[in-house]
Chain A
Amino acid sequence: MSETKTKDAARPKGAGEAKPDFVFFPGCSLHSTAREYHDSTVQSMAVLGITLEELDDWNCCGATALSSADSLLSYALPARNLAMTQERGLPMAVACNSCFVTLNRVNALMETDAPYRSKVEETLKAIGRRLDGPVEIRHTLHIIYHDVGLDRIREKVKRRLEGLKVAPYYGCQIARPRHEFSDPEFPTEMDDILEAIGAEVVRYDRKTKCCGGALMTTKEDVVLELNEQLLREAQVRGADLIAVCCPMCQMNLDAYQGKINSRFGTDYKLPVVYFTQLLGFALGLDEKAMGFGRGFVPAGKHLKKYA
């Protein structure tokens, strides 16, 4: 990323004078099931000098569910958000992996496939909007890693999470099909951030294996199996908790852990938290404000010694 941006990020901001760095697209989950992800993201990024401005009147990106139901709609819906971001004249920040992949899909179309592209443009025209080429879309994990940088994170850490063993679980849609991350299958950005706040990152080979996502609704049996494998590796590697960056992953691993235990006769008690919760906590933000209590599997006991 450009140096300017890093400078911007580091620049102290007086009240009201600064233009935000990104338009923030929270997505539906961050406003409901994943509110702790929303709060911890916005707050820790603010501490790190990045201001986000929520996209006004955003709509659902359609997720992969719509890609499956109606091709044109699955482009048109996220395109509205991109068009509005373009109007605002800022790059877009996204925290939800599913939104990230869906919005990027529109971007990819804007660069290729001309005939279909014009169809999408026509739908936008019907609502009086337009999209001129792709919009810069950034995952918040990537922004924190690149624009803020590890050095600055280390500088700002108030509580080093020394000794906390974390399994970094990225989920699939953050680095795939191919985005800005170091590798589509073995990205390392979250590992590095967690290390920068002092945590011990355990080896986690399944870091981008699928949790089944929305198939939990329709194919619960097999999706539970996938999540059991994910939990198993984390447990075998000795993780205290799993850090995630996607609301769907968090939900599947956390809310369904009980169901998994009863189905497979296991006894997992692995808290599943957003990496931003750990980051914010390390940066000195309040444990409660970071929403650690919202998880089904409590994480509190692992954090006590740092508080």
Chain B
Amino acid sequence: MNAPRLLRRSRPAGTVSGGAVPGGAPRPDAGPPPGVRVRDLTVVYKTPLGELPALGGVSLTIDPGTITGIVGESGSGKSTLALSLLNAVQPPGRIAGGSVEVDGLGDVLKLKGDELRGARGRHLGYVFQAAQNSLNPLKTVGKQLLDLGRSHGVDDLAALVRDARALLERMGLDGARVLDSHQHELSGGMRQRVGIMLALVLNARLAILDEPTTALDMITQATILRIVREVHKERGLTTLMVTHDIGVAAEVTDRLAVMYGGRVVEHGPTMDVLGAPSHPYTQGLIRAIPRLSGDPAEARALPGRPPTLGTLPTQGCVFRERCPLRMEVCETSAPLPVRREERTVACHAREPYASAAGRGEHA
């Protein structure tokens, strides 16, 4: 391994340790990275109390070539959103409405059968939340790779293996050995990298990572985050990264969407959102993060507790019960996302700041 010994960084983006790719990972074919437009996406889960919305009309635009982070507390609907991008919401869940347009694919929600299956893996790379267990325990990584290739009609399997090996080596692993290993022979960090490899080896250009570093050690987490960043750039991807750890999102993403109770409450460039949060939830959240710098005494927890499907208000703003800026209108009407320059915020209290042109994203 020849990772740099001491890496000095001044800015997060771009300063990767050169493009020296060991083994020469294949460059994806030319063409711009895809953009994604999610419109009014509603996903409901069937519960004993009836069908409850886990996503309540989410609209989100992911610009091509960016790394977009989706942050939110447990149960805010992040995974549901990520799965929806692949039209893969699991029962008892059901996509109740909306659309997910992906450049080059069209509306993913309209895809069916083999079309959909082909899109998964080939166009849409998904790195699983519990990557620890995302491999078939009975097969070696290599065999699973071949399964993947055959399922997608890849003719040149040897080339696929070569690509995979190169990709693994790019991420600092001994490719041949890893391909020859079973899941249990790999450590958590290695499995996560294998997960990334399997998501990208068919040249998917949209990478969706659901909590890629949860359950990993700090140092390993740092490594994986670096790899995500580098691979994103090298392969020209559009990346969506779901995490509950704002720090992780802050470290790698260009843009950040904050979710609460199945809505995107704020969306904008990471630096801006963190530096000057607009939505009271974002503000509260950031203030609640334990940090290494600054005065610990200033940190505050958000009052109340995060909602669950059952406790989510069906009317008005989902955040109002914990909101310091709560107003009367919040009881009755749900705030619409309002776009102002690069930022989109969904809050009644913030509406005066919205520009006249900003109703709705990309209106």
Q: Do A and B bind each other?
A: no
